[in-house]
Homo-oligomer: A and B are copies of this chain.
Amino acid sequence: MTAQPPGRATRKVAATATDPTPRRRRDATETRQLLLDAARRRFASDGYAATTVRDIADDAGVNVALISRYFTSKEGLFEACLGAAGDELRRTTGEVPFERVPEAIAHQVAGFATTGVPGQLTLLLRSSGDTRADEIRLGVLHQSGERLAAAAGWRPDEPDGDRLLLQAQIVLAATIGLAVLRTSTPLQPLASATEQDLVAPLRALIDALLPPP
């Protein structure tokens, strides 16, 4: 496929010609980031097992061996991706006033269309076959559920508290299902609905499950 003639290597000079920023040809941190971005896209859209390290390396335009160098292994790379996804989800469901949660979720779910990066949410539910990654994912989801429930007035010791937590987790489930049906399995018209299109239904959904305190 990409077999280079064995003489002098072709080198990738093409981009640098029109590139305004003559960035260094060798930059470890940039290479790391390229790999992370490519991996997030691949993992989110194809899942962990179906993604090969060569896919990721090709997307990023770097050599396959660098994945092992910078992230130890494929699993290490996946965990690094999960970390970023967790941060993003925490930001969405945590540090946001309760009234604006629908907007935040809509933005998160719709983020795929705006940013090129498919929602990190899909990353969260991809079965990985890796125990460590499963733990991370579960922890993130659990914490997100508790934050959402807390924003709706949940207190851990309160009687009937489990009901509220359960309903917060159902909201979370709906969010994740939305992300999946928009990216991994593009279901129309849901997949092409805009961020604004989603806010109203999401508000109705959240109001129904988590009545404001």
Contact = CB atoms under 8 A, between A and B. Distances in A.
A125 B177 CA distance: 9
B166 A197 contact: yes
Interface in A59-77: none
A51 B50 CA distance: 10
A190 B171 CA distance: 11
Given A205-B208, A209-B204, A166 B189 contact: yes
Contact of A142 (B46, B188, B193): B188
Q: What's the number of copies of this chain in the assembled complex?
A: 2
Interface residues of A, number: 48
A177 B209 CA distance: 15
A33 to B, nearest CB: 25
A31 to B, nearest CB: 27
A46 B131 CA distance: 12
Contacts of A205: 170, 174, 205, 208-209
Nearest to A50: B49
A60 B172 CA distance: 35
A185 B48 contact: no
Contact of A189 (B50, B162, B184, B190): B162
Contact of A177 (B50, B174, B193): B174
A172 B166 contact: no
A134 interface: yes
Given A177-B177, A180-B176, A134 B209 contact: no
Nearest to A204: B208
A45 B128 CA distance: 10
Nearest to A188: B142
A185 B129 CA distance: 11
A207 interface: yes
Contact of A174 (B47, B166, B170, B193): B170
Given A166-B193, A177-B177, 10 more contacts: A46-B127, A49-B49, A141-B181, A142-B187, A162-B189, A169-B181, A172-B187, A174-B177, A174-B178, A204-B209
Question: What 3 A-B pairs are tightest by C-beta distance, nearest first?
Answer: A177-B177, A173-B177, A208-B208
